[in-house]
C-alpha cells in the first residue's frame, strides 16, 4: 500500500501531524463549511469564487479573496488527483467546524469514487487534557497514540455525510432539526454538531446567535479587551468549542455593524482585525452601546 494522504483541519493540527513522522502527505483543509454561499458536494468554479468573496468580506479583507480562491482550487485539485484505490486518513475533532468539513470531504471523496480505503479518526477527548478543544492541543506522541483507533468509512457513513453536507449547503434547518434529534447516527458526532449549529441561527426575539449573545454578555459584564471577551465566551461555551478567535472577532464586528449597534469598537480602526497584520489586538477595546 502506498503512503496515505492525511487530511485534517487547522494549521496547528497539520504541524503536529507532520511531527509524528507518519508516512504520507498532509493536506490541511481550509474553509468554513457551515456558513456562507455554496452548493452541496463537489463545487464548481462559480461556487468557489462566491465563497472566496464571502471569506474576504467576513474577515474584512484580512484574507484576500484571490488568495482564498487559490487555496480552494489547490485543495480540490489535490483531491481530484487521488487514485481511487489510494489510502486516505481523515483526522478531525467532534466540533461543528470539523464535522461540517468532514461530511463535505466525505461527500467529495465519494463523488470522485475514492471510497475503498478511506479511514476516519475523530478525537473528541484526550485523557489529562481538560477542557479538550482540539487536535492542536496534542503533542506528536499523543496524536500518534490514537492512530490505531482509525476506522474505515462505511457506505452508510458516506451516504449520511452526503445528506448532512446538503443540510449545511442549503441551510436546511428543518432537516437539521430532524438529524439533530437522532440518538445514533452513522457519523456519531454529527447530531450534536447540528444542535450547536441550530443555536447559531438568529433568535426570533433578539436576532442574535448563541456566540453573538455570549460575546455581548461578556462585554456587558465588563470585558473590554478582545481576549477578555474570548476567555469569557469560551468559559460559557459547551464543549466541544467549534470557534476560534477569528470567528469571534467576526461576531463582535457584526454587533458593531448592526443598524442599531450593540457594541462600540475603539482603537486604530472601527473593526477588530481578523488576521495577523499591522494592528495589535491590545490596542482595541469593546464597549456596550
Between CA 105 and CA 41 the distance in angstroms is 8
Q: Which residues of 66-77 are buried (b: 16+ CB within 10 A; e: fewer)?
A: eebbebbeebee
Task: Name the residue among 277, 226, 223 with its Cα closest to residue 252.
Answer: 226
Residues 44-50, mean pLDDT to the nearest whole number: 96
Question: Is residue 206 within a helix (H) or strand (E), and if so which, with residue range?
Answer: none
Q: What percent of the chain has pLDDT over 90?
A: 91
Between CA 195 and CA 201 the distance in angstroms is 10
* Higher per-residue pLDDT: 64 or 220: 220
Contact 227, 281 (CB under 8 A): yes
| pLDDT (tens digit per residue) in 62-103 | 889 999 999 999 999 999 999 999 999 999 999 999 999 999
How confident is the model at residue 66, as a pLDDT? Answer: 95
* pTM attached to this predicted model: 0.95
Q: Could you tell me how many residues make up the chain?
A: 289
| pLDDT (tens digit per residue) in 144-199 | 999 999 999 999 999 999 999 999 999 999 999 999 999 999 999 999 999 999 99
Average pLDDT, the chain: 95
pLDDT value at 134 more than 80: yes
Amino acid at each position: 500500500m502506498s503512503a496515505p494522504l492525511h487530511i485534517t483541519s487547522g494549521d496547528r493540527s497539520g504541524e503536529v501531524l507532520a511531527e509524528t513522522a507518519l508516512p504520507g502527505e498532509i493536506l490541511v483543509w481550509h474553509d468554513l463549511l457551515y456558513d456562507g454561499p455554496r452548493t452541496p458536494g463537489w463545487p464548481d468554479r462559480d461556487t468557489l469564487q462566491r465563497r472566496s468573496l464571502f471569506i474576504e468580506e467576513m474577515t474584512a479583507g484580512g484574507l484576500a479573496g484571490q488568495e482564498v480562491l487559490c487555496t480552494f482550487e489547490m485543495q480540490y485539485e489535490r483531491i481530484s488527483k487521488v487514485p481511487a484505490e489510494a489510502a486516505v486518513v481523515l483526522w478531525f475533532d467532534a466540533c461543528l467546524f470539523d464535522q461540517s468539513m468532514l461530511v463535505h470531504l466525505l461527500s467529495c471523496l465519494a463523488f470522485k469514487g475514492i471510497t475503498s480505503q478511506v479511514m476516519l479518526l475523530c478525537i473528541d477527548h484526550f485523557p489529562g487534557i481538560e477542557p479538550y478543544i482540539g487536535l492542536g492541543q496534542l503533542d506528536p506522541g499523543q496524536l500518534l497514540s490514537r492512530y490505531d483507533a482509525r476506522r474505515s468509512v462505511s457506505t452508510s457513513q458516506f451516504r449520511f455525510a452526503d445528506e448532512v453536507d446538503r443540510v449545511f449547503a442549503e441551510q436546511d434547518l428543518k432537516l437539521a432539526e430532524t438529524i439533530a434529534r437522532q440518538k445514533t447516527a452513522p457519523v456519531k458526532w454529527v447530531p450534536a454538531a447540528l444542535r450547536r449549529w441550530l443555536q447559531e441561527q438568529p433568535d426570533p426575539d433578539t436576532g442574535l446567535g448563541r456566540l453573538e449573545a455570549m460575546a455581548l454578555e461578556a462585554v456587558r459584564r465588563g470585558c473590554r479587551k478582545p481576549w477578555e471577551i474570548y476567555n469569557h465566551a469560551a468559559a460559557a461555551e459547551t464543549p466541544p468549542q467549534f470557534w476560534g478567535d477569528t470567528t469571534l472577532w467576526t461576531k463582535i464586528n457584526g454587533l458593531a455593524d448592526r443598524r442599531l449597534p450593540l457594541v462600540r469598537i475603539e482603537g486604530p480602526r472601527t473593526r477588530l482585525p481578523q488576521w495577523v497584520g499591522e494592528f495589535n489586538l491590545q490596542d482595541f477595546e469593546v464597549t456596550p452601546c
